[in-house]
Amino acid sequence: MVAVRDEVARRLKRWRSTALPIGQAALAAGLSWFVATEVVGHAHPFFAPIAAVVCLGVSLGQRLRRVVELVVGVSVGVGVGDVLISLIGSGPWQIALVVALAMSTAVLLDGGAVIALQSGSSAVLVATLLPPSAGGGLDRMVDALVGGLVGLAVTALLPANPLTVAHRQAKVVLGELTEALRGVATAVSEHDAVQAAGVLARLRDSQEAVDEFASALRTGGEIATIAPIRRRRRHELGRYETAAVPVDYALRNTRVLARRALAALRDGERMPDVLPDVLRRYADAVDVLRAELGRGDEPKKARAAICSAAACATARHLGGEGFSTKVVLAQVRSVAVDLLQATGLSRNEAASSLPPLTRKGGDDV
């Protein structure tokens, strides 16, 4: 009974997370039909609600471009379908030929996959449900445009919060970074090559989270652009946009750090005793960064925490011998620069904020 209740709760939670997109699609479909019939004057504007639902069904970051693709795809599909079906009639081989030619035309016009698929589906509708006698190709193109524009209007008037997905994906990406830094720290302090290998394997799978974060930012940026009531969120979203690329670089540098730490552990190289503490302090600073970004604050505390941790990452504190160890220490410095850039500093500002590795003349700091 408990398992059934948990499953029902899980499904309701999943539905609530999609309730707004479902409502947007339903409203756009009805409005597009109304506009096409009552305003434009088309009797059977099948392409209007189809275009509206397809437009709203794709990821938000592509909707502006998708409206153009829909109209182009419908135009190609309807054009090819109208011409051929009027000449050769309708039937199995005619449908196959129309779809092949419509999609081929879209590809030859340098269209993407969406345009090709829309061309094919439009050609099928023309060849089956909507033969040429049912209406002109121009009317169908207008219907597709109406549906796409209504879909965008619904998105603008009933927008999602552009920060919601950004918050969630940033939490995932920054969480991956903190876990990796702490994992390497533990592996080094415990001389555990197996744990280092596990951290490295997880880091190699982190790119998907980075890509989803980038997609979330594109989504939020589009909402903030087309939805007037969400434009005030643009500034907060900008902090995430500033952090996105440097955090990606920090993950990549941490991956190199983990790889060389693994090699050093396997080769028996002795790494500096202070290294695990530096990495844990970096991880703590990333947690602070995540909290400040989530509140929409300028990440000043995170910046200070990174600089404080990096103050220990000098030749005097770290030292170290062996190739892999030296690479690890170089990556420790690189990660600090990446994290400081994630707080809003330029690369030059980030580098100059760190203490020098050595004094002039080669003496340790």
**Residue whose entry in the numeric block shows the structure tokens 């500096």:** 272
Residue whose C-alpha is closest to residue 254's, from 332, 346, 354:
332
DSSP state of 230: G
247 pLDDT exceeds 90? Answer: yes
Closest to 268 in 3D by CA, of 185, 182, 191, 183: 191
333, 351 Cβ separation under 8 angstroms: no
The DSSP element (H or E) to which 232 belongs, if any, is none
Intra-chain end-to-end CA distance of the chain, in Å: 65
Domains contained in the chain, CATH given = 10-157 (no CATH), 162-353 (1.20.58)
Task: Label each residue of 247-316 as H, E or C.
Answer: HHHHHHHHHHHHHHHHHHHHHCCCCCCCHHHHHHHHHHHHHHHHHHHHHCCCCHHHHHHHHHHHCCCCHH
Q: Pick 304 or 87 by higher pLDDT.
A: 304
The pLDDT of residue 266 is above 70 = yes
pLDDT score of 360 more than 50: no
Check residue 299 and give its pLDDT: 92
Give SS3 for 346.
coil
Q: Which residues of 41-51 are buried (b: 16+ CB within 10 A; e: fewer)?
A: ebebbbbbbbb
pLDDT single digits (tens) 190-242: 999 999 999 999 999 988 899 989 888 887 777 777 776 676 677 778 889 99
Q: Tell me which of 138 and 201 has the higher pLDDT.
A: 201
181-201 pLDDT tens trace: 999 999 999 999 999 999 999
pTM (2 decimals)?
A: 0.67
Asked if 292 contacts 301 with a C-beta cutoff of 8 angstroms, the reply is yes
| Cα separation, 284 vs 314, whole angstroms | 19
pLDDT > 90 in the chain, percent: 25
Residue 252 above 90 pLDDT?
yes
Cβ neighbour number for residue 225 with a 10 Å cutoff: 14
Assess contact for 323 and 271: CB atoms under 8 A.
no
Mean pLDDT throughout 16-38?
Answer: 84
Apex CA 116: angle with CA 51 and CA 120, to 5°?
70
Average pLDDT over residues 91-113: 79
Average pLDDT value for residue range 68-89: 75
Rank 8-22, 114-128, 209-223 by mean pLDDT and report only the highest. Answer: 209-223
CA 143 → CA 20, 42, 63, 85, distances in Å?
A: 24, 8, 17, 20
At position 46, the amino acid (one-letter code) is: F
